Each structure stands twice: as structure tokens, then as C-alpha cells.
Amino acid sequence: MPLLSKDFEKLKHLRHVYDRNYRVTQLYSTYLNRFPTLLTKEAVDALTEDGRIGEEEAIGALLTVAFGLDTEHNTDDRIIERDYIHPSVRLLDAQKYYNDPYYRTVHIPDTAVGRISFKNECYEPYRAVICDDILTDGEGKEVPPLGFFREPFFFPAVLEDGNEWMTLTPVDLDTCREAIEEAHGHVVTFGLGLGYYAFMVAQKDEVERVTVVEKNAEVIRLFVDVLLPQFPNKEKIRIVEDDAFRFAEHTLPTVGADYVFVDTWRDASDGYPMYRRMKRLEHLCEGVPFSYWIEGFLLSRMRAFVFEKIWDTEVNATHGQTGEYTFEDIRYRLSRDGLIQAILNREDDIE
């Protein structure tokens, strides 16, 4: 038999982890896109009325049944329930988000300019929503966090031609926390939306000014006419109408940015190509930190692709080739640093 990678047994274990990751992703995607209102208050109350289990545990149990998992006879199903579903469930406090400075300060009326409109929408009680960036651990497991409100939750959205394009929901607020905390000096942010990031960083004493790059003139007009006048530190904010990548390549290196935040995608499904393209432009602003919205989800898509390439290479070793990687090599290639290095080296071709 040809020589295999000495760590092939560890790789086979990782194969099982990634298979579960993929299965959970498919289950959650189907649930969120087709049946997000599947759970009801009545069903949750029925499981919690005797006080033996809490709401989050009840939601996890209901999801296990809804997904058709056989946790009594199937080991893999038990692992998915224990290590993915239950850790992913979060009962959300609506008041926490209503107390956010932006929510308290900015009133968003239903209004429109051309193809773009502002609209206030609502999540029904126990409707499932992604509520933070993906959860990862050192063993390769990836868990999308699911949030649920007990009561209706109202939130603003930006629509294009009547289709939801951008929202201000828990995932939008919570996934900006780190980029808000790190912001300082002259902050450049790509993507305007409802101006949440610009609003929050402009409040900081450490932030001197904020440049927002947005290519959609109608979004800019609505923002400037309706929202910006309500911002307490609006004098710090400047809007530039331009394509993000053109600005990043030709203008950003000259404006003296101290921190850059990139949020030009709707979700992970359309974000990776833009993320990859911007990462390759960072070198033009040496020493300036860049931060990316939902970077964990974006890298998750790439990580699954890279793992499949590694798996194919090592499995082919059983057919007359020699394995190329040690397990430490594999761990690095699947890590955040390894994935980013692959992007910079143009070793990825995922779309």
C-alpha cells in the first residue's frame, strides 16, 4: 500500500465533523428560508409549563423533532442535537435591542426614493433568525446561532424594488460590536445601509471623522434627507458616492484612514467574492486594520471548499500517490490565518 499521511486517521475524524457541519447548514438553510415560523408560542409553552425545562431547551427539542432527527437510534443525530442544535439556540431580549442608541434616537418612516424604500417590518414570536456570526471551535465544528424572540420584534429595513436588501436586526447589531469597539481616528466604512455603523462610531470620542462609501445614489439621498439629520454627531460623517473597490484601490490609500470596516454584501451567499477582492487590496493601506461584517460566515464557505480539496488529495494517496499534508498543515490551512493567506496567494477559486 502506498504511504499515507501519518495523520490520515485524524483527517478521517475531521471528515465526519465537516459532514455534520454541512448537514446542519442544509437543515438550517431549509428551515430559515422555507419554514422560519414553524415554531409557535403554544408549542414552546406546552413543553415548559411544568417547569422542568427552560425555553431554550424546549426550542432545541422542537427543532430536533422538526428536523426529523432520530436521537434514540442514530449516533450522528444525537451529536447534532447535543453539539449543534442546543448550543445554537438563543432566546433574545427585544428590549436590549430597542435600548440600542440607534433604535432610541433614529425614527425611520416608511418612505421611498426611486427603487429604494425604507420600511418597518416585524418578526413574529419564535420566528427563527440568525443572530450573530458563526460559532467555531478548535475541532472544526461550526454552529450558526439561531435567535428567537418571545414577542413580536419590530425592525427597519431597506428595500430595493420591493425586495428586502438590508435590515437592522440582532445579527446586524451584534456582529458590528467588535468593529465599533476598535474604531478610532479617521474611520472609512464601505456600505451605507441605514447608517448604523456610522452612527455608532461617530459617537466615540476616539473617532475624529467617518467617511462612508456608497455607490447607490438613491440610498444616499434617502439617508441624507431622512436619517442623517437625526444623528447627534452628523458633522463627523461624510458620504462619498463611489464604487467600493474603485475607492479602495485609488482613493483609500490617500485619505489617511486609521480603521476600515467593510459591509457591502447582503449575506454570506453573495459576500465571499467581494470579501476576497477587498482582502487583496488591503496591502495598499499598509498598517491600517480592516474589519469585515460576518467574516466568520464568509470564511466558513471557503473553509469547506479548502477541506474538500485537502480530502481529495489525501484520499488519492490510497491510489498510488503520497499524501501531501501533516495534520498540523491541515489545521493551519483551515484556520483563519491559513485561509486568508490562501486568498492573498490567490490559491482559492471558490465563488
Domain boundary pick from 122, 148, 170 = 170
Q: How confident is the model at residue 7 (pLDDT cuts 50, 70, 90)?
A: confident
Q: How confident is the model at residue 349 (pLDDT cuts 50, 70, 90)?
A: low
Strand partners, 130: 146
Q: How confident is the model at residue 20 (pLDDT cuts 50, 70, 90)?
A: very high
Q: Is the pLDDT of residue 351 over 60?
A: no
Q: What does the pLDDT read at residue 348?
A: 65
Residue-range definition of the domain harbouring residue 160: 94-170
Q: Quick check: is 142 in a domain?
A: yes
Q: Do residue 195 and residue 151 come from a single domain?
A: no
pLDDT digits (tens, 9 = 90+) for 80-100: 999 999 999 999 999 999 999
Q: Do residue 180 and residue 289 come from a single domain?
A: yes
Q: Do residue 110 and residue 214 come from a single domain?
A: no
Q: Do residue 81 and residue 102 come from a single domain?
A: no
Q: Do residue 289 and residue 180 come from a single domain?
A: yes
Domain boundary pick from 112, 136, 170 = 170
pLDDT digits (tens, 9 = 90+) for 158-215: 998 888 888 999 989 999 999 999 999 999 999 999 999 999 999 999 999 999 999 9
Q: Is the pLDDT of residue 2 over 50?
A: no
* Number of domains observed in the structure of the chain: 3
Q: Do residue 282 and residue 181 come from a single domain?
A: yes
Measured distance CA(219)–CA(234) in Å, rounded = 17
Q: What does the pLDDT read at residue 314?
A: 75
Measured distance CA(351)–CA(345) in Å, rounded = 16
Q: Do residue 18 and residue 85 come from a single domain?
A: yes
pLDDT digits (tens, 9 = 90+) for 123-174: 999 999 999 999 998 889 999 999 999 999 999 999 988 888 889 999 899 9
Report the mean per-residue pLDDT for the chain: 92
Q: What does the pLDDT read at residue 40?
A: 93
Q: Is the pLDDT of residue 33 over 60?
A: yes
Q: What percent of the chain has pLDDT over 90?
A: 82
Q: Do residue 20 and residue 85 come from a single domain?
A: yes
C-alpha cell at 185: 481616528
b/e code 83-118 from CB counts within 10 Å (16+ = b): bbbbebbbebebeebeebebbeebebeeeebeebbb
Q: Quick check: is 232 in a domain?
A: yes
Q: Quick check: is 314 in a domain?
A: no
Measured distance CA(265)–CA(275) in Å, rounded = 9
Q: Do residue 36 and residue 127 come from a single domain?
A: no
Q: How far is CA 67 from CA 24, 30, 102, 141, 146, in A?
A: 10, 10, 37, 19, 14
Domain boundary pick from 170, 200, 233 = 170
Q: Do residue 165 and residue 243 come from a single domain?
A: no
Q: What are phi and psi of 126, to 5 degrees?
A: 65, 20
Q: Quick check: is 144 in a domain?
A: yes
pLDDT digits (tens, 9 = 90+) for 67-83: 999 999 999 999 999 99
Measured distance CA(31)–CA(236) in Å, rounded = 42
Q: Quick check: is 326 in a domain?
A: no
Q: What does the pLDDT read at residue 77?
A: 97
Q: How confident is the model at residue 3 (pLDDT cuts 50, 70, 90)?
A: very low
Q: Is the pLDDT of residue 320 over 70?
A: no
Q: Is the pLDDT of residue 318 over 60?
A: no
Q: Is the pLDDT of residue 271 over 50?
A: yes
Output 329 or 260, whichever has higher pLDDT.
Answer: 260
Q: Do residue 191 and residue 260 come from a single domain?
A: yes
Q: Quick check: is 341 in a domain?
A: no
Q: Is the pLDDT of residue 28 over 60?
A: yes
- Taking the alpha carbons at both ends of the chain, their separation in whole angstroms is 37
Q: Do residue 196 and residue 146 come from a single domain?
A: no
Half-sphere exposure of residue 93: CA atoms within 13 angstroms, side-chain side: 4
What's the average model confidence in pLDDT over 266-285? 93
263: CATH: 3.40.50.150
Angle between helices 327-334 and 8-34 (to 10 degrees): 30
User: Which of 90-104, 197-211, 275-289, 322-336 has the least mean pLDDT?
Assistant: 322-336
Q: How confident is the model at residue 233 (pLDDT cuts 50, 70, 90)?
A: very high
Residue pair 226/108 in contact (Cβ under 8 Å)? The answer is: yes
Q: Quick check: is 190 in a domain?
A: yes
